[in-house]
Chain A
Amino acid sequence: MSPALSSLSRRGFLAGGALVVSFALAPRAFAQLAGGGEGGAGPAVLAPDLKGSLKSTPWLDAWIRIDGDGRVTVFTGKVELGQGIRTALTQVAAEELDVPPATVTLVTADTERTPDEGLTAGSHSMQDSGTAIQNAAANVRMLLAAEAARGWGVPTEEVTTGGDGRLHAPDGRVLAYGEVAARLSLHMQAVPDAPLRKPSDYRTLGRELPRVDIPAKLTGGAAYLHDMRLPGMLHARVVRGPSAGTSLQAPDLDGVARMPGVVTVVRQGGFLAVVAERQWTAIQAMRHLQRAAYGRPASPPLPADGSGDAVAATLAALPARDIAIMDTSEPAGPAVRSVKARYTRPWISHGSIGPSCAIAHYVDGTMTVWTHSQGTFDVRRVVAELLGLPAERVHAIHAEGAGCYGQNGADDVAADAAVIARAVPGRPIRLQWMREQEFGWEPLGPGMMTELEAALGADNRIVSWRHAVWSNPHNNRPVGAGGVLAGNEADPPFPVPEGKPIPMPEGDGSRNSNPLYSFANTHVVYHFLKDMPARVSALRSLGAHLNVFSIESMLDELAAGAGIDPLAIRLDHMQDERARDVMQAATDRFGWSRRPKGDGRRGCGMAFARYKNLGAYCAVALEVEVDRETGRVLVRRAVAAVDCGQPANPDGVRNQIEGAMVQSLSWTGREAVRFAADRRASFDWSSYPILRFDDVPGSVEVVVMDRPGAPFLGTAEAGQGPTAAALANAIADATGVRLRDMPLSPERLKAAIGPV
């Protein structure tokens, strides 16, 4: 290192150390709108008659711009998370505009360029943004046709499009979209009834176009936020104790300041970070500071580790508010057979392969933050409140990260980077969390418990059904500074906001606790737990993972006792035709009627759910083979059927459902965050193992139902609950052992089977 750089580093540290910049105190009553997209409150509705996110952003030019050369730019407030939404939305826009998809450029969430569509979460993107873009594009195509017709002096309905970005008159005259668009202003509100293209005419929608983001990902192209390199960029690491709630007691700030290459140390309240010219220097400085002792307040105690009983005891000890979800009462015959059971899920990590990353740059009083958060506009709200900046002085831009599957460290790291950048004006700051920080500090998927009691009558009809679920709201998404770690570490701290339930029909911990089946005398209650003993927030599918697991396990428990086929008991209680169709499609493809009977070693199970009872329908059938010596379960075959309305890209749908199934097999079969008395004890992939190639199914097949022109239904979270239950049901079919506490691990299965 050069002497000049060294002295710069010292000066940097002295400046950073002496001028401890305190967080400016912003108004604490910062607007609490947001959380939209997960099913909570979203952006304000301005046009209730319009569809999807046009309700909140009704102006056409907010969604679509057509340049004079015919290039189309489409704006969405949703973001690519690896789910393929960039490609799907491009297809929607190309179809309804009737242009080649290659002429469409899609701009994803950017607080200065795109509509605020709330979070990219809850499988809402196709319903919210896909529907908005579809209808906005239909409006634009209608306006273009009307303008061309006016110029030609022909009736509008005689003007046609041909998929080539041109308008055609009956006499053969043509006009390019760009020429016509130049005569129009699109700054007008959409109308609700612009005619959509007929499914039989589709050129782009429903086709399996290759995903636009994949080539760069396969070849080392700049595909991720992590790959951005800005001129003058510095590398930062945030320094914290081993896990959420801990703090370092006396980190050696002076020692780090003397390390060559360290530019500055940012210490504000309980927030601590190091900034260096090189990434490796920042990591070494962080490691030096982390040698300090850490502490954690004794209260509240962390969740008990281990068994389902321990999960249940932890949850049962928390204060609960009871919310009635469903109460029906019908005349029904007497119960002849009843089952009561408790099901649990432990705390689960999102386990993103890439630890969270952000870049922040503070120049002339404006903070720019590149973030892979699911809530780009929420990042702006959080950073503005945290730093006391007006919202218009914070520009948040989405750039893709590793898959997040809910709220991982993305929001926190964005706020961390902004705090650091504020202290080092003029230099872009790249901050990536370390692996153990992602495991230690991200909000976990919450532990949950259910108790079900159900009864069959003499005619094999279910005569009563009770479902109680203990859960917190899962959705603790940050909408202000109190929702991120840097806000909690400020002096004075921004308090962690209270969890608030997302009401039905979407629900949160209660999600999918209301069965879609027609059961007589159904009583569902949500024991809402406001606070959790561990930091938690949304994990893909929220409460649906355990609620569907519970319902679909209970159905098999009832069916097994009465000698009813698992498919039959479901069809007997299901009136929704599309639900019946996916169950039939999955089991037909699986060969359910010819399946091998459970023989102690092999067995089959199925399960079904419609996500939130509003989204995609999904049925799953699995065949498993159990190693009775070890309790290891191998899924030989997995088959799913999914009905997501009109699929924008059937291969994209298959990719999502395949992924959901494999991920759910990992969650359900393997995963549980471990806790020590004073910290989380899962901090790497050896203390938090997930499924590897040896344990993935022999084959996975997904049938995508053909529903031409049907409204889009969110797909990404449809497979998790059914896969979880199908696994438990297949294990029960194979071994006679009913596992009700996740994870359905080899150890637990072996203990239940007993000696061979």
Chain B
Amino acid sequence: MTVTLTVNGADHALDVDPATPLLYVLRDDLELNGAKYGCGLGQCGACTVHIDGKPAFSCLTPVGAVAGRRIRTVEGLGSAGAPGLLQQAFETEQAAQCGYCIAGMIMRAQALLDRNPDPDEAQIRAHMQTNLCRCGTHMRILRAIRRAVALRKGTQSAQEVRR
């Protein structure tokens, strides 16, 4: 069956079982590396993408259910050569160790910033609660999100963000 997906603004017609989780189609058919297989259960967030602007677990989302909806992956935010603002903030804070969770973290955080450009610390932590990191990079991830908020506001210095 042909399913048409709109990913990062481009349409793709794919011959695929509509029950296939979106994750495998993104990774294996569209060759997008950002979303990761972590649990297949919606418990870790490594596979997080946006569907119509909202964060979603691509490992649980049948591809047939998202035909024609706007899908955005971390590749849609920027590239290594031209990173998006949140990606820049993660780079500046060196907010990764193994990094396997990080693309999901960025997409999760981006969804918050898209909805609320000035979240406070408690809002950030509550929002990020769904995503797991095992290396213990949480403090840097939080710092990177705060940095992105500040960069967007353009008012705070890097020093203030660090605190």
Residues on A lying within 8 angstroms of B by beta carbon are: 81-84, 210-211, 213-224, 226-227, 229, 235, 278-280, 351-355, 400-403, 405, 432, 434-435, 651, 655-656, 658-663, 666, 684-686, 690-694, 696-697, 699-700
Taking a contact as CB atoms under 8 Å apart, the answer to whether B138 and A662 are in contact is: yes
Q: Which residues of B contact A354 (CB under 8 A)?
A: 36-38, 46, 98, 100
Decide yes or no: A218 and B90 within 8 Å by CB, A223-B33, A658-B140, A663-B136 being known contacts. yes
B34 contacts partner chain A, Cβ-Cβ < 8 Å: yes
B68 contacts partner chain A, Cβ-Cβ < 8 Å: no
User: Which of under 10, 10 to 19, 20 to 34, or 35 or more describes the interface residues of B?
Assistant: 35 or more
Taking a contact as CB atoms under 8 Å apart, the answer to whether A353 and B80 are in contact is: no
Interface residues of B in 107-130 (CB under 8 A from A): 125-126, 128-129
Of B39, B74, B90, most buried by chain A (CB within 10 Å of CB) is: B39
Bound: A567/B126 CA distance, A: 36
Bound: A355/B100 CA distance, A: 10
Decide yes or no: A655 and B94 within 8 Å by CB, A229-B31, A353-B132 being known contacts. yes
Contact of A435 among B38, B78, B83 (CB under 8 A): B38
Binary A-proximity of B6-18 (CB < 8 A = 1, otherwise 0): 0000000000010
Chain A contact residues: over half helix, strand or loop, or mixed?
loop
Q: Which residues of B contact A651 (CB under 8 A)?
A: 94
Taking a contact as CB atoms under 8 Å apart, the answer to whether B96 and A226 are in contact is: no
Q: Which residues of B contact A215 (CB under 8 A)?
A: 80, 83, 91
Interface residues of B in 35-57 (CB under 8 A from A): 36-41, 43-44, 46
Of B32, B131, B133, most buried by chain A (CB within 10 Å of CB) is: B133
Q: How many whole Å from B62's CB to the nearest CB in chain A?
A: 10
Taking a contact as CB atoms under 8 Å apart, the answer to whether A402 and B98 are in contact is: yes
Q: How many whole Å from B135's CB to the nearest CB in chain A?
A: 5
Taking a contact as CB atoms under 8 Å apart, the answer to whether A81 and B98 are in contact is: yes
Decide yes or no: A700 and B97 within 8 Å by CB, A217-B103, A220-B34 being known contacts. no
Of B73, B87, B99, B103, most buried by chain A (CB within 10 Å of CB) is: B99
Taking a contact as CB atoms under 8 Å apart, the answer to whether B100 and A353 are in contact is: yes
Taking a contact as CB atoms under 8 Å apart, the answer to whether A218 and B37 are in contact is: no
Taking a contact as CB atoms under 8 Å apart, the answer to whether A280 and B17 are in contact is: yes
Contact of B135 among A229, A403, A435, A700 (CB under 8 A): A403
Bound: A227/B132 CA distance, A: 20
Interface residues of B in 127-155 (CB under 8 A from A): 128-129, 131-140, 142
Contact of B97 among A82, A210, A355 (CB under 8 A): A82
Taking a contact as CB atoms under 8 Å apart, the answer to whether B33 and A222 are in contact is: yes
B64 contacts partner chain A, Cβ-Cβ < 8 Å: no
Interface residues of B in 54-77 (CB under 8 A from A): 73-75, 77
Taking a contact as CB atoms under 8 Å apart, the answer to whether B129 and A693 are in contact is: yes
B5 contacts partner chain A, Cβ-Cβ < 8 Å: no
Taking a contact as CB atoms under 8 Å apart, the answer to whether A660 and B87 are in contact is: no
Contact of A661 among B43, B102, B136 (CB under 8 A): B136
Taking a contact as CB atoms under 8 Å apart, the answer to whether B73 and A220 are in contact is: yes
Bound: A107/B22 CA distance, A: 34
Taking a contact as CB atoms under 8 Å apart, the answer to whether A278 and B28 are in contact is: yes
Taking a contact as CB atoms under 8 Å apart, the answer to whether B91 and A218 are in contact is: yes
Q: Which residues of B contact A661 (CB under 8 A)?
A: 136
11 contacts between A and B (CB under 8 A): A83-B97, A214-B96, A218-B102, A220-B33, A278-B28, A351-B134, A353-B38, A353-B133, A355-B37, A655-B140, A693-B128
Bound: A400/B138 CA distance, A: 21
Taking a contact as CB atoms under 8 Å apart, the answer to whether B99 and A213 are in contact is: yes
Q: How many whole Å from B96's CB to the nearest CB in chain A?
A: 5
Q: Which residues of A contact B28 (CB under 8 A)?
A: 229, 235, 278-279
Taking a contact as CB atoms under 8 Å apart, the answer to whether B129 and A353 are in contact is: no
Q: How many whole Å from A219's CB to the nearest CB in chain B?
A: 5
Contact of B101 among A84, A353, A405, A684 (CB under 8 A): A353
Bound: A666/B39 CA distance, A: 19
